[in-house]
Chain A
Amino acid sequence: MTGNDAVAIAKILLQTKAVVFELDNPYTYVSGMRSPIYCDNRSILSYPEERRAIVDMFCSMLSRMSFDIIVGTATAGIPWATLIADRFSKPLAYVRSEKKKRGMGKQIEGAPVAGMNAIVIEDLISTGGSSFKAVEALREEGLLTDHIAAIFTYDLPQSHQTFKEGNCNVIALTSFPILVKTASEMRYLSKEQVEIVEHWNRDPFGWGPKFGFPNAKPGW
């Protein structure tokens, strides 16, 4: 991966509208936090050329690493994990965010074997909470899991802390700073708008209240 590769991925995210900005009517995240940016990489799946470019980049990055199995996170990581595992002719599994409430109560599907060295594939990383839960679930099953590969990371301070404490490395095809710089160069964002979204990145929980959109959960 080079800087140019990361910019190319950022352009794909912007052009396919996998990443959108909404500064006047921001988004509400799972945690109740408000955000001027939203990323849904599943939309890229509908674009064959861009999809192939993403998988090529993943494979280029992972080709320098040693692993036995690819594990996708449910649900958005699964298609990417499938395409990557197929390229490497490696086993594939997927991991849910929590155990199924019915049936066998399984969290991991496929046939992962304890002792296998797993690479987790995510579509994106925000605060890192759900991604790291997947890592913990795999570790509980005896898999060696110390790398998550994602298309995009918001690069939030919370995620740095989560993964550092959990001894897990994040490798992303592109990241928030590169995306915002690219969006600015491509005129998706004005200079003033760049400052607003960068403020969110520095202080994601404080951003909403400061800009007139109190978080759903008071006290943050």
Chain B
Amino acid sequence: MDRVNSMKEALQNGLYLDNLSKMISTSMQMAKDSANPLPFYVLASVFADIYEDWEDRALTVEEANRLENKILQHLNDVMDSMIRGDQAFQTHEKLSTLLKAFFS
């Protein structure tokens, strides 16, 4: 869980391209290494979607803050669930909430 902890720490730095890039790599690596790859793969996909949307364009602070306000807490909830070692269905519920917020 060390890498989940370090990813959660990275998340506290906020969402911006350099940080997203690191979190995509970490999540993908953890998806490959983990016995339960689904949460990591979902996180990597969310980070990659944000990266793709923000890359190569003028991103205002207001827009970045808007997305952070929408999903940051849910991202933290998913990671906390993994750190606690919740059962898979509990983590999946958190993931589902994250995705609903992300797509809203």
Say how far B18's CB is from chain A's closest CB, in angstroms.
5
Set A20, A31, A216, A218: member contacting B58, Cβ < 8 A: A20
Say how far B76's CB is from chain A's closest CB, in angstroms.
16
A residues neighboring B (CB under 8 Å): 20, 22, 25-32, 34, 38, 40, 42, 75-76, 213, 216-218
Task: Known A32-B13, A217-B13; judge A27-B58 contact (CB<8 A).
Answer: yes
Contacts of B3-57 to chain A: CB distance below 8 A: 12-19, 56-57
Say how far A169's CB is from chain B's closest CB, in angstroms.
26
- Taking chain B's interface residues, is the majority helix, strand, or loop, or is none over half, making it mixed? loop
B 73-85 to A, binary, CB cutoff 8 A, 1 in contact else 0: 0000000000000
> Cβ of B101 < 8 Å from any Cβ of A?
no
**B14 and A26 contacting across the interface, CB-CB below 8 Å:** no
**A217 and B16 contacting across the interface, CB-CB below 8 Å:** yes
> Cβ of B2 < 8 Å from any Cβ of A?
no
Cβ–Cβ < 8 Å partners of A34 in chain B = 61
> Cβ of B88 < 8 Å from any Cβ of A?
no
Cα distance A32–B58 in the bound complex, in angstroms:
13
**A218 and B13 contacting across the interface, CB-CB below 8 Å:** yes
Say how far B100's CB is from chain A's closest CB, in angstroms.
25
Cβ–Cβ < 8 Å partners of B13 in chain A = 32, 216-218
Cβ–Cβ < 8 Å partners of A32 in chain B = 13-14, 16, 18-19
Cβ–Cβ < 8 Å partners of A217 in chain B = 13-14, 16, 19
Task: Known A216-B15, A217-B16, A218-B13; judge A28-B57 contact (CB<8 A).
Answer: no
Cα distance A32–B15 in the bound complex, in angstroms:
8
**B59 and A27 contacting across the interface, CB-CB below 8 Å:** yes
Cα distance A217–B13 in the bound complex, in angstroms:
5
User: Other CB < 8 Å A-B pairs besides A27-B58, A28-B60, A40-B58, 14 of them?
Assistant: A25-B61, A27-B61, A28-B16, A28-B64, A29-B16, A30-B16, A30-B18, A32-B14, A32-B16, A40-B56, A75-B56, A76-B56, A216-B16, A218-B14
